[in-house]
Amino acid sequence: MKKVFVTIGFAIIIAGALVFYNKLYYPSLPIETISKREVLEKLNTSDQPIVFLSKENGQEWYIVHTPNTSESDEIIKEMVSQSGWTLTDKDGSGLFFEKQGEKLIVTTQKWTSEYVLVDIPADWKE
């Protein structure tokens, strides 16, 4: 009987370690090309306020570490405006920019209470 409890305890410890290592307790990502663990590693090894994650299906994905939505909007505005875009409007999770008659829509979504995912069309720097 003691062996059964030891085996069950060992299995629980291994399962817990796998959950923690792979960050399975975080919500799922809308990005298929990068894991949750890789996202957090990129963010934790960067000293930038916004970190590039992946380019997928014509979209670039970034992450911002801030619980404050208005702060993340300012970080995004600063990054995008460096390429000549001007913020024209904000509606919900969308930030609307304009440059030389072209329009750009940047969308954000809370991943957790501390992280905001940013979705930008891939051709925004051109």
Q: Write the pLDDT tens digit of every residue in 58-95.
A: 999 999 998 888 899 999 999 999 999 999 999 989 99
pLDDT at 50 over 60: yes
Kind of pairing between the strands at 50-56 and 59-65:
antiparallel
Q: Work out the mean pLDDT of the chain and round it to a whole number.
A: 87
pLDDT at 23 over 70: no
**pLDDT at 73 (0 to 100):** 93
Sheet containing 115-121, strands listed edge to edge, beginning at the edge strand earlier in sequence = 50-56, 59-65, 115-121, 102-110, 94-99, 86-91
Strand (E) or helix (H) holding 61: strand 59-65
**pLDDT at 11 (0 to 100):** 76
This prediction's pTM: 0.81
CATH C-level class of 29-125: alpha beta
**pLDDT at 13 (0 to 100):** 78
CA-CA distance, 26 to 88, in Å (whole number)? 33
